[in-house]
Structure 1
């Protein structure tokens, strides 16, 4: 097990390359801009203390698998958790498919939404996909560095896949962000669909 002093030393090493980076900013905005760096921008709202470890930009690779696709497929991904001083996190994920050599094939899924911690320690997660799906998740804090969610409602456009429900688990492990996602869709029961391991690049 890593000691407290060792954990602090490792965190300082990781931050050496990321602490001076943030999201691109417009300096003529009449309201506070989003920040993914706790050292810059608006102060973090107290309502976000339970999700504080997530604030930043994370980048890495993952895998998609499901009985209705020919995978598994490798993908690259960047996830951003930012805030503007109000009691919600802005969430964005961008993905790209990779070949076996790790080269980019093409852009893939995009997601945008908001994490909204509540006074009863639940978290509302509103999520919109570029594929025509809108999901409302409810979740909770599992530990100081892990969060789990399941869908309460799924809305699909006429051209979207038949998604019934989804579950997600996020965790910050040894300074990296990891998650797993399960889905019930296309006539299949709830089962693993996507997972990824991302390293901090901002914050």
Structure 2
């Protein structure tokens, strides 16, 4: 019985290089874009490894207004790291937009770079890129976006600390 428990609690070898992400992260971010007013927000990310026998990380993300705590945005999906340093990500947003991204991950640099392959159900968004990086124990990310009205440029950035 203990042998089965250990086998199912182990981290899949493809997930191991990104195991530093596993858990909950919380912090603040800021956003803006030429077509919207700048804003600040609170945020929580959750990365889990729900199926240790599978090379997948479950991802959920929620944001709220700092002054009122009112929910703003949420998204969830799956990250599929590959042993060759590539990664595939699918994300569904609360706005109805869906993303399929591909990119690279480096365990040594603790750096993940993602570029949209498909942005579906979006009337204006054409392209999305995401970069996640560990800096001094904090998770930093930048999301860039291109729309029908503007080229790829910064949209969101945040700094998050891992919760105990």
Partner Cα separation in structure 1 for residue 124 and residue 90 of structure 2: 19
On the 8 A contact 1:77/1:95 being kept in 2, the answer is yes
The more displaced of 141-150 and 173-182 is: 141-150
Matching residue of 2:77: 113
2:125 pairs with one of 147, 155, 163: 163
Matching residue of 1:17: none
Residue deviations 1:12-40, cap 9 Å, x none?
A: xxxxxxxxxxxxxxxxxxxx9xxxxxxxx
Structure 2 gaps, min length 5: none
On the 8 A contact 2:145/2:153 being kept in 1, the answer is yes
Larger Rg: 1
The more displaced of 54-63 and 43-52 is: 43-52
* 1:104 matched to 2:104: no
On the 8 A contact 2:17/2:107 being kept in 1, the answer is no
Partner Cα separation in structure 2 for residue 47 and residue 56 of structure 1: 17
Matching residue of 1:200: 162
Alpha-carbon shift at residue 164 of structure 1 (Å): 0.3
On the 8 A contact 1:68/1:186 being kept in 2, the answer is no
Structure 1 gaps, min length 5: 1-31, 33-40
Alpha-carbon shift at residue 109 of structure 1 (Å): 0.8
2:42 pairs with one of 76, 98, 101: 76
Partner Cα separation in structure 2 for residue 50 and residue 147 of structure 1: 11
Residue deviations 1:130-162, cap 9 Å, x none?
A: 101010000101452111000011111xxx551
Which is richer in strand? 2
* 1:188 matched to 2:150: yes
Residue deviations 1:75-115, cap 9 Å, x none?
A: 000000001212100000000022xxxx2252111010000
* 1:95 matched to 2:60: no
Count of aligned positions: 155
On the 8 A contact 2:56/2:81 being kept in 1, the answer is yes
